[in-house]
Amino acid sequence: IRDSSNIAVAGQNCSTETEEGAHTGEVLAAMLRDVGARYVIVGHSERRQLYFETDSMVNRKCQAALASDLNVILCVGESLEQREQGIAERVVSGQLSGGLSRLTASDLDRIIVAYEPVWAIGTGRTATPEQAQEMHAFIRRVFAERYSDQAANELRILYGGSVKPDNIAGLMSQTDIDGALVGGASLKADSFAKIVNYDRQ
Residues labelled as active-site residues: 44, 116
DSSP designation for 166: T
Distance of CA 149 to the CA centre of its chain: 21
| Angstrom distance (rounded) from CA 55 to CA 81 | 19
Q: Which residues pair with 111 in a beta bridge?
A: 72
CA distance 17 to 20: 8
Q: Which residues, 6 or more positions from 95, have their beta carbon under 8 angstroms from its beta carbon?
A: 43, 55, 58, 76, 77
Residues 188, 66: Cα–Cα separation, whole Å: 31
